[in-house]
Amino acid sequence: MKFTSTVNPTNLLPHQLVESLPKLDFSKIGDTGCLGVQGYGIGKYQNPLVFFAGAIGFSWFFWGISFITRTDARSLPGIILIGLGGLGPVVSAIFTLLWGESCDTWKDFWKRLLLFRSGSWKPWFLLLALPLFFQVFSILVSVLLGSPASQLLPREEVRSPLKVLPFAFFVLLFGPLPEELGWRGYGLPALFHKVPAITASGLLACFWALWHLPLFFIPGYPLAVLLQEPVRFLFYLLDFLPNSLLYTWLFFSVGGSTAAAILFHWGGNFWGMMFETGTQAEGIALILKTGFAFFVLKRWNCEMDKPFKKSTPSDLRSGGLVHRRKGNRRPARLGGF
């Protein structure tokens, strides 16, 4: 990847880096003034309800067995049931593609998994840096407000350098990879063809949160403790909406790359599990992330008031996402990148 900018990203805070990016040059539709990507084409994913029903149904089947039998998530049978349930999004995506999508859409799905090219290095830097920034900054603020400084120390299980790589691989395999192949690989593009983009992001956040619901009731699973702490439970649920908006922004900033969504998801999970934070730090992180998400919406005042236009096979051959405006075709670039 060739960099032409002279800006050193290490000297900028995330909001300063965002401000350094050029605004979109798309004209607004009417007076909506809301974030959007109307005018982009992507593979025709046309069965969102089938996908979401399959993802939730498949996962809940295995997690339901664990709940009904009271199988501890830390036991071998529990690990197997949790792992099988976690495959729900990717299994449903592949089933829906084989059941009701075209060959071009099937090719587009796998092409976007390996899509790493972008017109700029900035979105890749942000998707790797933002999760760490949110985590560390929220901890520092909470420490200044009186929370224990021990939050800045990694968990004891991963303090050894020899344990970090296996831990990073575990975090990637159980969560980001199977989930994002479904959520952003199929679900998000399918919703964008049906509803406005902000609505699509909100709906995805709801399905995403609902999908996690059984995990709160499985003995021994980390999320189960949140039921004893209502404030943390509320923070966890509210976090899905700003997350979904940021995923959408970064996802299309790199041309609809599923790999980008996987990396962003991995960063959030990795750093979130690396440090053991308290309720105050989690609340600060939620406020910070929500503020940043709406800052992005305001910064890029583009169109999210209409679904995507249908792609043609030639659009898919040219790389998936195509911006259509007044009959011209050019590679898609969202968010000023």
- How does pLDDT run across 64-87, given as a tens digit for each residue? 999 999 999 999 999 999 999 999
Q: How far is CA 235 from the centre of its chain?
A: 17
Does this model's pTM top 0.85? My answer is: no
Element (H, E) at 331: strand 328-331
**Residue-wise burial string across 243-279, b where 16 or more C-beta atoms lie within 10 A, e elsewhere:** bbbbbbbbbbbbbbbbbbbbbbbbbbbbbbbbbebbe
Q: Considering the domain boundaries, does residue 78 fall inside one?
A: yes
- Asked if residues 320 and 108 have their Cβ atoms less than 8 Å apart, the reply is yes
Lowest-confidence segment of 34-43, 123-132, 191-200 by average pLDDT: 34-43
Alpha carbon distance 83, 79 (integer Å)? 6
Q: Considering the domain boundaries, does residue 38 fall inside one?
A: yes
Whose CA is closest to 246, among 179, 210, 292? Answer: 292
Q: Considering the domain boundaries, does residue 203 fall inside one?
A: yes
Tell me what pLDDT residue 311 has: 39
Q: Considering the domain boundaries, does residue 15 fall inside one?
A: no
DSSP label at residue 154: B
**Residue 277, SS3 per DSSP:** coil
Q: Considering the domain boundaries, does residue 16 fall inside one?
A: no
Query: What's the domain count of the chain?
Result: 1
Q: Which residue range is the domain that position 35 belongs to? A: 23-331
- Asked if residues 301 and 26 have their Cβ atoms less than 8 Å apart, the reply is no
Alpha carbon distance 302, 305 (integer Å)? 9
Between 40 and 177, where is the model more confident? Answer: 177
Q: How far is CA 193 from the centre of its chain?
A: 18
- Asked if residues 255 and 321 have their Cβ atoms less than 8 Å apart, the reply is yes
Q: Considering the domain boundaries, does residue 5 fall inside one?
A: no
Using pLDDT thresholds of 50, 70 and 90, give the confidence band for residue 316: very low
Using pLDDT thresholds of 50, 70 and 90, give the confidence band for residue 335: very low
Q: Considering the domain boundaries, does residue 304 fall inside one?
A: yes
Between 10 and 91, where is the model more confident? Answer: 91
* pLDDT > 90 in the chain, percent: 55
- 206 vs 6, 36, 98, 239, CA distance in Å? 40, 19, 25, 11
Burial grade of 70 (CB within 10 A; 0-12, 13-18, 19 or more)? exposed
Range ranked top by mean pLDDT from 5-14, 165-174, 245-254: 165-174
Q: How far is CA 3 from the centre of its chain?
A: 26
Q: Considering the domain boundaries, does residue 90 fall inside one?
A: yes
Tell me what pLDDT residue 244 has: 95
Tell me what pLDDT residue 47 has: 93
